[in-house]
Every structure is written in C-alpha cells, then in structure tokens.
Structure 1
Amino acid sequence: MPALQPKVQGVLDELVASGAETGLQTAVHQHGVLVVDAVAGVADDRTERRVTPETLFFSFSAGKVMTSLIAHLLVGTGAVGYDTPVVELWPEFGAYGKESATLRHVLTHSVGVPAMPRDIGPADLTDWSRVCTALADAEPRWRPGAETGYHAFTFGFLVGEIARRATGKPMRQLLREWIAVPLGLDSDLYFGVPATELDRLARLEDGVPPSAASSDDAAVLTPWEMRPAADLGNDREILQADIPSLGTFTARGVAAMNAALLAGRLIDTRQLREVTAVAFEGTDQVFGNPARLALGYPLGRLGARPGETPTAFGWVGGGGSYVWADATTGTSFAMTKSRLTPHFDSAQRLTDLTAAELGPPA
C-alpha cells in the first residue's frame, strides 16, 4: 500500500510533463485510511499558481456522487422513501403523465426528462425556481420507470427540489449540514462556492474547442448539455450557484466522503447494500449504451467488463474527472483535473493502477 503514493505521483507528473494534462489531484482511501494524496501541475496557467491538495476543481457531473448521497440521507431521515411519488412533495410535477414518478425513478434516471426544456439555457441554471417550474411542466419522453437515459443537468434539480420540499433547505445547505461539516470537509465540498473561496479554484481549459464536440445526441440533450466547456466551469455566477447536477470539490474531500459512506458513518449497512444493488438495467436512451444502475449511481468501474466490479459505483465528470468507490475492496478514489478532454484516458490509467494495487487478491 505505501508503494501506491509514489506510483500515482509518477503518473501525474508524467501526464503534466507530456502536455496531456495541465493540473490534477488524485486521492485514494482504503478502509478509511488515506493512502494516496497526490497533485501535479498548475491550477492556473496564466499565473502559474500550483495545484495543492486544497485546490478546488469544478468537476461537472462527478459532483453527482454528492447529490445521490444527499438523496440517501434524505431517505434515512424518514421524510421520503425511494418509492414515494414525487407529487406527494411536489404536486406540480405530475403534469403530462409524470404523476407516477418516484424518487427511485429519479435516482435511476428513468423519470423521463433527461434534457432541459428548450427554453432553459446555461444562464438559467442559476435561477432555481425557473428551472424547477420548467421541469414540472415538461412532457416526459417515456413513462416514468419504463426506460433509462442520462439526466445530465435535470438530475440535480429533480433530487434537489424533492429535498428542498421535504426539508425546507437548499442542496448547498444540506451538503454542508449533513455531509461536509460532520466529516470535517466544509472547505472541500460545494454546491455553490462562497465568494471568499473562489480564488482557490483551478481555472479550467478546453482540451479541444467546444465547437469540435460531438452533437450527435442533440435530439435528446440540448447542445450545451452535451459539451462540458471551460467557459461554464470558470463562470463565477455558475460557480457560486446551487446547481447540484454539478459539483466543486477537492479530490481529497470527495474521496473522504465516499470512504465515510463505505465505513457506515453516513448510512447503515442495509442502505449501503441498496447503493450497490442493481436497480435498473436497460439501454440508455440518450447515449445508446447498456446501462446498469444502482440508486443514484452507475454500477461498475471505468473500463471494467459488465458485472466484473459489481459493488463499484461512482460518477464520471465531463472533461475527464472521475470519482468511484468499491464496497468489496473498501476503496474510495477521486481524480480532478483542469484540462477538459473528450476522453477518460488519465482517469482510466490511474483507476487501473489503483485497482491493481488495492483490489482483492486474484
């Protein structure tokens, strides 16, 4: 285990030296112990400010691990169940046949509203009421529970509005009160970065021009939902807004969060089994790939064959970041980065290295 830190550091240094990456963090916990805490490169290529373990990274959908955990904690309070109809808390959401939708459907991306309504653009993401009103009035693409399809931006608002109506609190407050402060991570995990902390953020850069990104799936997702762009992740209004489809964090902090989840410090053993149990299998109606989902997370590890890592769960983030945990090996992994790439080559390399070192004996 002590050998993993220098191996990961060597990979990070190589990625930066080769020009493949600009700045990265990687953190790994095993059985609650921090075994890797490595950084490389610069957080801002304009000022040459170096990446440190405290540097915050806007990591797009990798932040959904925080959103899903809040949903599980909400269920743990008894305020809502996985099979509670959304309309019990949010009556307006029942429009156009969505009255059968449940929290389970939201968590398995099967509720039927994968794309933002066409009148919602990136600038509207900071207006919680506008987005939620539009989602409540949206016509589903399929009957809730019938299909699954990646709810890229809608997911966080759906979970968040359910949680807000159940508790009276926004997601940024629940993240702080339920997770960050109890775990001593209140400067590491954010939906909406305080203005006083903005200078800690890494500045994102596009690895390829946004216009070169594929728009093949624009018939389902709006074009801006398909293209993780540095302009979005560097926008101070977006960074300070409560948008729980996206997250800002340190690799050290989010890996510690998932380590606490695996250790039973946040949910009980029974609920943890649900986190790693198959809740929906089907063809993703957005991307066309086979999908195997637990409640709130895709199952399996990046690059693993289907079913090969059945108790691994997590989220990739647009641009190449990756957060995962495995209940069998007790491993919690996170990688954040500033260069947005259309692939996950760096995450795959570091994941393979980590799994080889910390996985179960062959």
Structure 2
Amino acid sequence: MAELLERGAVGLQVAAYHQGRLVLDVQAGDVQAGGRPVGPGTIFWVASAGKVSTATALHLQVERGLLSYDQTVASIWPEFGVGGKASFTVRDALTHRVGLPDLPADATRQRLGDWEWVVNRLAGATPTADPDHHNTYHAMTWGFIVGEIVRRSDAANRTFEDFVREEVHAPLGITDVWHRLPAATHGRVAVVRGDLLKDDPFTWTVTEDDAINTPEYWDRVDPNGGWMTARSGARLWAMYAQGGELDGVRLLSAERVRECLEPRAGDPAAGGLVGPWAFIGQGALMLGGAAPAHADVLGFGERVLWHPGVGGALGFADLDAQLAVMICHNELFDIRRLPAHPFAGIVRAVQAEVLH
C-alpha cells in the first residue's frame, strides 16, 4: 500500500476473509488529497464492483424457486417481450446477452434516478443485431434489467434496494454496502477522482467536483454499482468463498456457487469496455481462471470469482483457498491501458500473508 501511495494513490482500504473469518482490515492514505485519513468506516464508490449484490439477489430468488434461469424474461416481465426480445431468458439477462448495452438516448441524470422510467424504456427497446454489441458487457443497463426481474419475483413488492438490503445484506450481517447512500452516511464518503476511461469508446474523467461526489448522485439507486467499505464488501465475497454459506447462514447452495465458475454461453469475453481480463461466467460474475494472463495480471487461480469496477476497485472470492478480498480506493485509473493491474501486488501480498 505504501508503494501505491508513493505512485500517486490517495486513499485505500483492503479487507480479507479467510475460512469465514475477517483476517485483514487495513487502510492507508486520505479521503481526498490533503484531507483526513481513511478509516475502517470510510465509504468508497466502487462502480461495477458493486454488481455482486445485484447478481446475488437474482441467484437467491432462483434458489428459492421463485425464478428459473431458463424462463423467459417476458414470463415475469411481459412488457420486456416486445421488439424481438420475447425469447430472451433470465440467464441471457444475467450474462449480458440481451443486446441492450446502451442507455436510452434521451436518458438524463435526473431520469436515471427514476427507476420506472429506465426499466420501461429498456422494456420497450429493440436489441442490437450487431453480434459484437449483442453479446457484450451491459455496464449501465444490466443492473436495471436484472434488478427489475428480481423486483417482479418478490411477493412483497419491495423496491430493488430494499430487497437487496433485507434479503442479501442483512442475513449476512453486512451493514456497509449500498446501492443508494443513506443521508446519515454522507460524511463518511471518500472523494473520487481520476480517469475511468480513455478514448475507447469514450473518455470519462472524474474531478473532485464531479456529480459522483455529490449528495444528489448518492441519493439515486444504482443497481449497476455501489458504495461500500472494504470490510463489508469482503464479507459478501466471503459467502461465495465459503460455498454459499457464512457464519451458519446459507444464502446460496454450494452447487449454485460452483455453477458460477462456468463460462457464459457464446463468447465469455466481456469486451473492450471492461478490458482484456474480464470474462463473464454463468452467474454474471467474472472468472479468474478464464483469462490466460490472470496468473500474471492479478495472481488469480482457476476457481476464482471476481468483479472489477471502472476505475480499478475489485473484489474476489477464491473458492479453493476460501479467501475473499475487497480493495477500495479513490484515485481512479483506466485498467485497460495498463500492462498489469496496479493492485496485483496487493492481491499477492494478501495471499502470502493469509495463506502461507
């Protein structure tokens, strides 16, 4: 961590669970340049690394027999079946294969805060026929599609955020993972900045006064991303590392977790938006062993589930080592442009500390 701070990182959190126990919870740096130190309760925006909550919610409903991966999306969400989407299955939606990678052209920041507006527009949209985009990473739309499927399978008719909090986080004792930040937490949020994407397909640079760093942004539901502390994020990954169970609470069956290790149908590569290391599994999580360079890039073994966030945050579960790790930070970088992930050294250091 000291080396990363010397290279320009501002603030970092790293937490690890091994065999279901919290064994590492460390912090370094500041919540913003020149600001107060990062603490264990500092909250970080982790972008798509928060997708693990959304995916888990859908798996839970399948576990309960309320959804099937093989049923069509239209069977539970009839409005979705128009425009050539009638045959798409829940699994297709889960694995980014429904040809809707782009937000509606008239989406605004205000409209993205209106759940009903977003899901209604996606339901009425026509999927792309371009194979390169039909079967690619749905960065900003996936969470709304999967989240609406979850919501419609809920007999209590809860909002997406309430369902995730009550059915995924609370049973595992997770208190600091959110898809919408409560007002009481705003004073704990680290300020993010840096380059998320450069040039391809577009440039996205975040400054300290960007909307992402404002209460207005924090107050909208984001099923494609999230905010968390590393300790709470690692706890969710620990459930996967323990085969679906943590502290006597079984959320998913061991068989369902193992199925997540299988590549999705078609091409498992997530595409250029995410970078060359991201391969999508049957459970929507990324596969650690699918990319030949993973052993060099991030030190992952074969039976690893993980998810990156744009800007570099990541969490993973090593099922063989029963190790779960979450890395949060606030100096963002475009991982696609780098020969190796800057956090590879942290991953290896945690493995060395915990496993040897």
What TM bracket, shorter-length normalisation? 0.7 to 0.9
Q: How many residue pairs are counted as aligned between the two chains?
A: 335
Structure 1 349/294 Cα, relative in aligned 2: closer, same or farther at 3 Å? farther
Name the counterpart of 2:45.
58
Note the 1:99-178 alignment, pairs <5 A.
99-142=86-129, 148-167=135-154, 168-178=157-167
Distance 1:356 1:181 in 2: 31
The equivalent residue for 2:312 is 320
The equivalent residue for 2:13 is: 25
SS in structure 1 of the partner of residue 25 of structure 2: strand
Counterpart for residue 184 of structure 1: 173
Off by >4 Å, runs of 4+ in structure 1: 143-147, 283-290, 356-359
1:241 maps to 2:252: no
Residue ranges of structure 1 left out of the alignment (5+ in a row): 1-11, 218-222
Q: State which drifts further: 167-176 or 154-163.
A: 167-176
Q: Which residue of 2 aligns with 1:78?
A: 65
**Kept after mapping to 1: 8 A contact 2:32/2:191:** yes
1:250-273 CA distances to partner (integer Å, 9 max, x unpaired)?
Answer: 110010111123322311112111
**1:9 matched residue in structure 2:** none
Partner SS state of residue 346, structure 1: coil
For the residue of structure 1 that corresponds to 2:57, the secondary structure is helix
SS at match of 1:29: strand
Q: Considering only aligned residues, what root-mean-square deviation do their CA atoms show, in Å?
A: 2.7
The aligned residue for residue 275 of structure 1 is 260
**Gaps spanning 5+ residues in structure 2: where?**
none
Indicate the SS of the match to 1:34.
strand
CA contact (8 A) 1:281 1:293 kept: no
Alpha-carbon shift at residue 135 of structure 1 (Å)? 0.7
User: 1:285 and 1:322 mapped to 2: Cα distance?
Assistant: 18
More deviation in 163-172 or 246-255?
163-172
How many angstroms apart in 2 are the aligned matches of 1:56 and 1:199? 9
Match of 2:185 in 1: 197
Displacement after TM superposition at 1:94 (Å) = 1.2
Structure 1 CA distance for aligned equivalents of residues 54 and 183 of structure 2: 22
Give the number of the structure whose residues are more often helix, by fraction. Answer: 1
Amino acid at match of 2:141: T
Q: Does 1:300 align with 2:288?
A: yes
- Distance (whole Å) between structure 1 residues aligned to residue 160 and residue 46 of structure 2: 17
In the other structure, the counterpart of 1:350 is: 346
TM-fit CA distance, 1:169: 1.5
Q: Distance in 2 between matches of 1:227 and 1:81?
A: 37
Cα shift readout 1:307-340 (whole Å, capped 9, x = no counterpart): x733211111111111111111111011000111
**Structure 1 range deviating more: 132-141 or 274-283:** 274-283
Separation (CA, whole Å) in 2 of partners of 1:141 and 1:355: 42
Q: Percent identity?
A: 31
Letter in 1 for 2:259: E
Q: Report if aligned partners of 1:83, 1:102 keep a CA contact under 8 Å in 2.
A: yes
CA shift, 1:353, in A, is 2.6
The answer (yes or no) to whether the contact 2:73–2:90 under 8 Å persists in 1 is yes
State TM-score, norm by structure 1.
0.85
> What SS does the aligned partner of 1:243 have?
coil
Equivalent residues of 2:100, 2:134 under 8 A apart? no
